Amino acid sequence: MSTTATALNSGPKTAMRRQALVLTGLFSAASAMLMGSMLAIWLQFRANAPLRESSDGSKMLRDWLPENIKIPEVATNTMMMTIVVTCIMAQWAIYSSRRSDSNHTSLALGVVLLTAIAMINAQIAVYMQMNIGVRDSSYTMMFYSITATMTALMVIGLGFTLLVMFRSFASRVSDHDLILAHAVYWYSLTVIFAAMWLVVYVQK
Amino acid sequence: MTAVETISPTSSGAGILGVVSEWLMTTSHRRIGRLLVASSVFWMLIVVLVGTLLSVERISSTTDLVDPTSTTQLFSFFRVGLIFGVMAPMTLGIALAVVPMQIGSQVLAFARAALFGVYLWIFGMVIVGVAYIGNGGPGGGDPQMVDLFLVGMALVIAGLIVVSASIATTVLTSRRAGMTLIDAPIFVWSSLITSISLILTLPVMAGALIYVAVDHSYTRATFGATEGVNAWIGWALTSPQIFLLAISTLGVLAQIVGTMTRGKQPLRGGLFVGIGLMSTALVGTVTQSFYALQLDGELSDIAKSLVPFLFYNALPILGVLIVLGLCLLAMKNEKAKPSAAFVPAFFGVAMVSTGMLGNALLRINNLKLSNTVFEEAVLVYVGYGVILSSLGAIAYFGPRIWGRKMPTMPVIGLGLLGTLGIVLAALPYYIAGFTDQPASRTTGSLGDNSQIWNSVAALGQAIFLLVIVAFVGLVVKSSRDGEIANDEIFETAQANV
């Protein structure tokens, strides 16, 4: 048995305008809010940490970063420079894509992939060099939380790069919007990482 | 219009499994939206039932319906369930089902992602429910269940963000040719504002949740163990976050009024401004600022606290008043044609605005209403107001989706009864707040005349529960056997109203 009723038509098919770009913009905003809130809580804890004398007794310090913890600055500064390189490569992919140059588009995306892997590798190296446990103190617990969240965002970026790269390998050079969205995501990650790098690794 | 075949499962070649799998794997915005709305109705029934139980428990200190050790968890569940199990998914579900057809798009942007988001939310809510049953909500006694609660909340947040992103992307990219955002129907605008507000606020909650979850799993020292959960995510379970989930009530009302007046809405831009003003609650949410008014001291001190108080508390109220005023102005049109859905939609907004006014009073320190049942009344007014408005939205948009009318008088009757239920459930707590009845407590000294106020509130909760059950029955019946809708109802659904 069947009955027939009328319902409102969804309308003619419309041209999708930069869907990937808009979605990436929204996701980037969400990522920024996520890391922004984590940094805000980090700063709040740091500002409320009790005062203590420095080891040489010359000045008073906030008792936030335990004295036995040394942040490997070479690795963290290299990460900051690497993510800037990632942005440049992502922009190169846009440049090549606009000229329908699939070889250079793929090459640029390949370099983005490598630098993204290098970033994640550097983060693991930082963990290994610091050799601290999550349970050691409030600082270490929050350090792992914030840096692991940042790394998770980079892994998402890595997946995005893989997706765009495979489409490029398949000669879908007309994916300008997707490649642009990919670059926008890495730009936003760079800004977010720069903020985290400054607060967590530089100001400590 | 499209002919919609309503085929009984027995006549389908694929059988019932085929129908179920079609629904579970669907990319149709109507089905995804209805899946989300139906799931949230399930939680709505549970939440309102819990609200009723708690109100009955409060009538007398000797009442023993609920195990005394569980009351804290039930109060917490009522709040979490109402906000994340009902208000947010109901609002987004209706938007998923309706927004694409209002903007003339055949498809939802990233429909599979939206479906994935719906499943994330469903599984997250199930996990949250299981955690509460195992005494694992905020302040719960079982640490492993509290860990489970935190995981469940993370899934719920992720799901709602994905769904919101899909709605916002659809509105921003898939409007029919020539339709600007200003030309879009007002419900579309309110859905866009709600979605973007959630995309910006829920990650802030997620950030706090990550810290709390890691701390709870390892050290339980920095963020205050189980008691710390409420301290760090509690801001997302109260005003002004709940106001963001009430934005679409304005869109529903303005949309219905627009249809009733055939698009003759004076100062239509004012509706956009009003809805935008309500979204200023976003600032208070992400900064987790509850600026209170202090009436003691020098005039300059009062003025100093008055400015941020007005910005954070009065601007969203102004937005609601602008929309209400413009809708009433439009109703003066002699040719306005009454609609049954107007009743629940209008009173839904009225309840929300009553809750917002109450919240402004709550922020006046001299009244000493914090930590009293007054705070719960604000949640009930706003939360149940959103539910009532959603019933109006279903009564209005439903026939446009399943092609059958809903009967007029039952919708009006349930709308009025629902309003009565909300007023009875919340107003006594406004009064009891002034007699210092403590929040989230069912025993001990509950204040003067507490038995009277709590009895009336329990009656209100029970009435509201009955209204929801009756409305669900009405929707099921009318979508199957209701009168087939004529062309008239489609005239203004895509119109510029």
Res B442 pLDDT > 80: no
Residue B420 has what pLDDT? 96
**Can you give the pTM of this predicted structure?**
0.91
Q: What is the pLDDT of residues B361-411, one digit of tens each?
A: 988 888 888 888 999 999 999 999 999 999 999 999 988 888 888 888 999
More confident residue, B223 or B188: B188
Q: How far is A35 from chain B (nearest CA, A)?
A: 7
Res A183 pLDDT > 60: yes
Of A8, A36, A41, the CB nearest to B101: A8
The answer to the question of residue B369 being in a domain is yes
The reply to whether residue A5 touches residue B176, judged by beta carbons under 8 angstroms, is no
Of A4, A19, A30, the CB nearest to B199: A30
The reply to whether residue A16 touches residue B109, judged by beta carbons under 8 angstroms, is yes
Which residues, in sequence order, are CB contacts of A56 under 8 Å at separation 6+? none
Q: What is the pLDDT of residues B301-331, one digit of tens each?
A: 888 888 888 888 888 999 999 999 999 888 8
Residue B466 has what pLDDT? 96
Residue B22 has what pLDDT? 83
The answer to the question of residue A35 being in a domain is yes
pLDDT (mean) for A103-108: 90
Question: How many angstroms separate the CA atoms of B126 and B144, rounded?
Answer: 16
Residue B419 has what pLDDT? 96
The answer to the question of residue B16 being in a domain is no
The answer to the question of residue B184 being in a domain is yes
More confident residue, B356 or B438: B356
Please, which residues 217-236 of chain B have a Cβ atom closer than 8 Å to chain A? 218-219, 221-222
Chain pair A-B, CB pairs under 8 angstroms? 161
| Interface residue B404 vs chain A (CB under 8 A) | yes
Q: How far is A170 from chain B (nearest CA, A)?
A: 22
Res B335 pLDDT > 80: no
Q: Which residues pair with A6 in a beta bridge?
A: B3
According to the 3-state scheme, what is the secondary structure of A124-182? HHHHHHHCCCCCCCHHHHHHHHHHHHHHHHHHHHHHHHHHHHHHHHCCCCCCHHHHHHH
Res B150 pLDDT > 90: yes
Q: Mean pLDDT in chain A?
A: 87
The reply to whether residue A134 touches residue B219, judged by beta carbons under 8 angstroms, is yes
What residues of chain B lie within 8 A of the CB of A141, using their CB? 211, 214-215, 218-219, 222
Q: Mean pLDDT in chain B?
A: 87
CATH number of the domain at A51, please.
1.20.120.80
| Interface residue B371 vs chain A (CB under 8 A) | no
Which band of pLDDT confidence, cut at 50, 70 and 90, is reported for residue A67?
A: confident
Of A133-142, B129-138, B261-270, give the lowest mean pLDDT range: B261-270
- Name the residue among A151, A180, A140 with its Cα closest to residue A35: A151
The answer to the question of residue B63 being in a domain is yes
More confident residue, B2 or B471: B471
Of A70-79, A88-97, B63-72, B460-469, give the lowest mean pLDDT range: B63-72
The answer to the question of residue A187 being in a domain is yes
What residues of chain B lie within 8 A of the CB of A7, using their CB? 1-2, 4, 400-403
Could you report the predicted ipTM of this complex, rounded to two decimals?
A: 0.88
Most confident stretch, A17-26, B156-165, B300-309: B156-165
Q: How many domains does chain A have?
A: 1
The answer to the question of residue B19 being in a domain is no
pLDDT (mean) for B464-493: 81
Q: How far is B489 from chain A (nearest CA, A)?
A: 9
| Interface residue B456 vs chain A (CB under 8 A) | no
Q: How far is B288 from chain A (nearest CA, A)?
A: 10
What residues of chain B lie within 8 A of the CB of A41, using their CB? 207-208, 211
Q: How many domains does chain B have?
A: 1
* Chain A interface test: which of B210, B283, B494 (most A C-beta within 10 Å): B210
- Tokens representing B171? 């509105």
What residues of chain B lie within 8 A of the CB of A149, using their CB? 207, 210
Q: What is the pLDDT of residues B182-191, one digit of tens each?
A: 888 999 999 9
Question: How many angstroms separate the CA atoms of B275 and B393, rounded?
Answer: 17
Q: How far is A148 from chain B (nearest CA, A)?
A: 10
Res A101 pLDDT > 90: no
Q: How far is CA A9 from CA A143, B101, B314, B396, in A?
A: 53, 7, 41, 16
The answer to the question of residue A18 being in a domain is no
The answer to the question of residue A90 being in a domain is yes
Residue A1 has what pLDDT? 41
Q: Rounded to the nearest 5°, which phi and psi values hold at A7?
A: -140, 160
Q: How far is A3 from chain B (nearest CA, A)?
A: 5
Please calculate the CA angle B433-B436-B442 and round it to the nearest 5 degrees: 90
What residues of chain A lie within 8 A of the CB of B484, using their CB? 4-6
According to the 3-state scheme, what is the secondary structure of chain B? CEEEEEECHHHCCCHHHHHHHHHHCCCCHHHHHHHHHHHHHHHHHHHHHHHHHHHHHHHCCCCCCCCHHHHHHHHHHHHHHHHHHHHHHHHHHHHHHHHHHHCCCCCCCCHHHHHHHHHHHHHHHHHHHHHHHCCCCCCCCCHHHHHHHHHHHHHHHHHHHHHHHHHHHHHHHCCCCCCCCCCCCHHHHHHHHHHHHHHHHHHHHHHHHHHHHHHHHHCCCCCCHHHHHHHHHHHHHCCCHHHHCCHHHHHHHHHHHHHHCCCCCCCHHHHHHHHHHHCCHHHHHHCCCCCCECCCCCHHHHHHHHHHHHHHHHHHHHHHHHHHHHHHHHHCCCCCCCCCCHHHHHHHHHHHHHHHHHHHHHCEHHHCCCCEHHHHHHHHHHHHHHHHHHHHHHHHHHHHHHCECCCHHHHHHHHHHHHHHHHHHHHHHHHHHHCCCECCCCCCCCCCCHHHHHHHHHHHHHHHHHHHHHHHHHHHHHHHHCCECCHHHHCCCCCCC
Q: How far is A50 from chain B (nearest CA, A)?
A: 14
* Helix or strand (DSSP H, E) at A95: helix A73-98
| Interface residue A203 vs chain B (CB under 8 A) | no
CATH number of the domain at B270, please.
1.20.210.10
Q: How far is A4 from chain B (nearest CA, A)?
A: 5
* Helix or strand (DSSP H, E) at A5: strand A2-7
| Interface residue B12 vs chain A (CB under 8 A) | no
Which band of pLDDT confidence, cut at 50, 70 and 90, is reported for residue A9?
A: low
Res B497 pLDDT > 50: no
| Interface residue A29 vs chain B (CB under 8 A) | yes
Query: In 3-state terms, what secondary structure has residue A55?
Result: coil
Res B488 pLDDT > 80: no
Question: How many angstroms separate the CA atoms of B303 and B52, rounded?
Answer: 42
The answer to the question of residue B20 being in a domain is no
The reply to whether residue A14 touches residue B172, judged by beta carbons under 8 angstroms, is no
The reply to whether residue B2 touches residue A30, judged by beta carbons under 8 angstroms, is no
Res B491 pLDDT > 60: no
The reply to whether residue A18 touches residue B173, judged by beta carbons under 8 angstroms, is yes
What residues of chain B lie within 8 A of the CB of A22, using their CB? 109, 168-169, 172-173
| Interface residue A48 vs chain B (CB under 8 A) | no
Q: Provide the residue range defining the domain that includes A99.
A: 23-202
Q: Please name the residue of chain B whose CA is at the shortest distance from the CA of residue A17.
A: B173
Of A4, A14, A41, the CB nearest to B174: A14
Of B7, B201, B215, the CB nearest to A141: B215
Q: Provide the residue range defining the domain that includes B288.
A: 25-490
Q: How far is A57 from chain B (nearest CA, A)?
A: 28
Q: How far is B154 from chain A (nearest CA, A)?
A: 12
Query: In 3-state terms, what secondary structure has residue A27?
Result: helix
CA B447 to chain centre: 30
Residue B35 has what pLDDT? 93
Of A10, A37, A142, the CB nearest to B105: A10
More confident residue, B1 or B357: B357
The answer to the question of residue B2 being in a domain is no
Report chain A's terminal Cα–Cα distance, integer Å.
71
| Interface residue A59 vs chain B (CB under 8 A) | no
Q: Please name the residue of chain A whose CA is at the shortest distance from the CA of residue B104.
A: A11
